[in-house]
Structure 1
Amino acid sequence: MSWLSRLNRPWLHFIVLGFVLFELQRMAFPAPKPVVGPLSEARVETLEQQWLAATGRPPTAAQSQRLIAQELDRDMLFQRALELDLHLYDQVVYQRLLRNMHFLQLAEGKSEQELYDQALEMRLHLGDEVIKRRMIQVMEQLLLAANPPAPVTGEDIAASFAERREELRRAPRYSIEQLYFNRQREGEIPAVIDTIAERGLDAAAARTMSSPFLPGYQFTRQTPDQLARNFGSTFVMNLQQAEPRPRSWVGPIRSTYGLHYVWVEDIEPARDATLAEVRPRLLRDLESRQRADALAGAIDKLRQQYEVRL
């Protein structure tokens, strides 16, 4: 019997025809995608209030749309985690639900497993923001495991170093000692300066003639930002404008606290950073960017499986 005659069977024709019809139906009437969104007006208002609290200004229309899109992505990741039953195998979720049941005073006379099962029946996991954040975190880890970030190469680090050279430039560093005079004692400064010059006193010896200063008197290899944390930005600006030189007195220098007579021990000028100095920072930043890009791409792919309603 030839293979053609073997194909000439009614039951085989029926199976093939049924399969073709099934595929045509699936293509013509695909299963509806799960729906995510839209956000309620209350949730949108909450997002905008959070933005206002963080930035001090209301979001623009474009910023509001980005906030809504990000929140819908969170809802989508949470929904996908629930579809995969990830909440049933996570210890953080387990402990959180037990804690919630104790908080609701429903734990008396029940084992932990009974409490957990009851919490799931009550659907407490759906309205708990801590559980939602945990499930989103787990879902992101799964997406990154399936779509790992591209590794950072030496060429990437070199290119980033060249691109960020000005940003990475090392600030000058000042080693100083200072005498502080509060506003009530500012009139004494000329006499103190004359005494220091006549006796050739160093800063440590002259310190008894100044006022107490809580942050201290000696500051070694401090950047302008570090000095500003102790003296305020006004002091740093006035110090730099005075064009100090190593191994010399400068001032008095005004700060937000009063006046300072400053002994400049040493100044390390600003300079370009070396690649060796900033390589760990560049690597960390590039890995973070690669991770964010990989996660964004994975979320884009996942979004195609849902109907996201803005």
Structure 2
Amino acid sequence: MRFLREPLFHFFLLGVAIFGWFFWLNPADPNGSDSNRIVIDSQDIARLTAQFEATWRRPPTEAELQGLMNSLVTEEVLVREAQLLGLDQGDGAIRNRLAQKMNFLTTSVAQSIEPDDETLRAYMDQNPERFASPPRVAFEQVLLKPDEETRDVLAALNTGADPKQLGAATLLPAEIPLSIAASVDGLLGRGTFAQLAELPEGSWSGPVQSGYGLHVVRLTGREPGALPPFEEIRERVLQDWRSKQSEELTAAQVQSLKSKYEIVLPEPLTPREGASQ
């Protein structure tokens, strides 16, 4: 059903997950609220134990667990006292951390969604440029001397002249194996690959402008970009699909949360006359 794929429906589920997660970690105190009371419960012990095991690959001893609980109590005391002093107000680092945690909740929901292969295939077909292998070319090149005529060098090469006997001395490789645009442009300069892609294969042609000057080149191989079979890149498609879902869910979440507030922005300022002069 289409509505199951809508970001707003996912946001509804996200809201349920957020509040469920929050109340699971922060259960209501049956004895009422008491700002001077610090309770370490079984959930805290389980979390501390899990964190210790993840780091040390073994459960903590009784003494180590006691030390972890003491550290947690110390942290809670310091946090509460800092809040009483208002030290959390206007702190950019704290604000950023809270915003990151909210985004993490959204990402967690997206990561937990398990789409079927039909959904992933459709996503791959709609975004082939995200998964296709890039085109590649292989070629030989001769860097021309400033006073050499391109047509003369091409005529000599196409009648069997040795490329090593022509052109300027250079440390550039005479033969470049199959390479993608980023590699070719990284070697010869931006835009070189685009020029090579327009040339015929098998004969010397040019000139081709690079960051070093003019070249004559002979394409010796060409592989067009291609979309691999779905089975080969399923995991890649899944991760990309989840990343896209995270973006959409985050946008829906922020929009929904914004609707709870009256947002007042300053009127557009009119630049004073001559201010830009």
Q: 1:124 to 1:260 in 2, by over 3 A?
A: farther
Q: Residue 206 and residue 133 in structure 1: after superposition, are their counterparts in 2 closer, same or farther (change >3 A)?
A: farther
Q: Is the 8 A contact 1:149 1:291 kept in 2?
A: no
Determine what percentage of the aligned residue pairs are the same residue. Answer: 23
- In the superposition, relative to structure 1, how do residues 302 and 211 fare at CA in structure 2: closer, same or farther (>3 Å)? same
Partner of 1:187: 148
**1:129-278 correspondence runs (5 A):** 129-142=92-105, 150-165=113-128, 168-181=131-144, 185-187=146-148, 196=157, 200-201=161-162, 203=163, 205-206=164-165, 209-212=167-170, 216-232=173-189, 234-241=191-198, 243-246=199-202, 248-278=203-233
What CA distance in whole angstroms lies between the structure 1 residues aligned with 2:214 and 2:200?
16
1:139 and 1:231, CA in 2 relative to 1: closer, same or farther beyond 3 A? Answer: same
For residues 237 and 294 of structure 1, the distance between their equivalents in structure 2, rounded to whole angstroms, comes to 38
CA distance in 2, matches of 1:170, 1:147: 26
Distance 1:181 1:148, change over 3 A: closer
CA drift of 1:174 comes to: 0.5
Cα distance change on mapping 1:267 and 1:301 into 2, 3 Å: closer
Q: Is the 8 A contact 1:175 1:267 kept in 2?
A: yes
Cα distance 1:308–1:173, how it changes in 2: closer, same or farther (>3 A)?
same
The whole-number CA distance in structure 1 between the counterparts of 2:144 and 2:94 is 56
Q: 1:172 to 1:279 in 2, by over 3 A?
A: same
CA contact (8 A) 2:133 2:227 kept: yes
CA distance in 2, matches of 1:237, 1:142: 43
Whole-Å separation in 2 of the counterparts to 1:252 and 1:164: 35
Give, in whole Å, the separation in 2 of the partners of 1:236 and 1:296: 37
The secondary structure found in structure 1 opposite 2:97 is helix
Q: CA 1:133–1:150 in 2, change beyond 3 Å: closer, same or farther?
A: same
More helix by share: 1
* Per-residue Cα deviation, 1:229-287 (whole angstroms, up to 9, x for no partner): 4334553444344x3213x3222323353111213221123444432454343212211
Which residue identity is paired with 1:228? D
Task: Say if 1:157 and 1:245 are closer, same or farther in 2 by CA, change over 3 A.
Answer: same
- The answer (yes or no) to whether the contact 1:253–1:262 under 8 Å persists in 2 is yes
SS in 2 for 1:253: strand
Question: SS in structure 2 opposite 1:174?
Answer: strand
**Structure 1 residues 126 and 212: CA distance shift in structure 2, 3 A:** farther
Contact 1:171 1:270 in 2 (8 A): yes
- CA shift for structure 1 position 297: 4.7
Pick closer, same or farther for the CA change 1:235–1:144 going to 2, 3 Å.
Answer: closer
**What secondary structure, in the 3-state scheme, does the structure 2 residue paired with 1:290 have?**
helix
Q: Take 1:299 and 1:283, find their aligned partners in 2: how far apart are those partners?
A: 24
SS of residue in 2 equivalent to 1:257: coil
Q: How many residues were matched structurally? A: 195
TM, length-normalised to structure 1: 0.48
Q: Structure 2: which 5+ runs fail to align? A: 1-21, 27-43, 45-73, 265-277
Do 1:149 and 1:290's aligned partners in 2 also have CA atoms closer than 8 Å? no
**How far apart, in 1, do the equivalents of 2:207 and 2:185 lie?**
17
Residues 162-205 of structure 1: per-residue CA shift (max 9 Å, x gap) = 223466554431111222236xx24265665566566642x5x4
The answer on whether the counterparts of 1:174 and 1:268 sit within 8 Å (CA) in structure 2 is yes
Q: Give how far 1:145 is off.
A: 5.5
Change in Cα spacing, 1:235 to 1:218, as seen in structure 2 (3 Å) is same
Amino acid at match of 2:234: R
Matches within 5 A, 1:277-292: 277-292=232-247
**TM-score, structure 2 as length reference:** 0.52
> Could you say what secondary structure the match of 1:281 adopts?
helix
Q: Distance in 1 between matches of 2:121 and 2:217?
A: 41
Partners of 1:181 and 1:259 within 8 A in 2 = yes
* Unmatched segments (≥5 aa) in structure 1: 1-80, 90-111
Whether the 8 Å contact between 1:176 and 1:265 is mirrored in structure 2 is yes
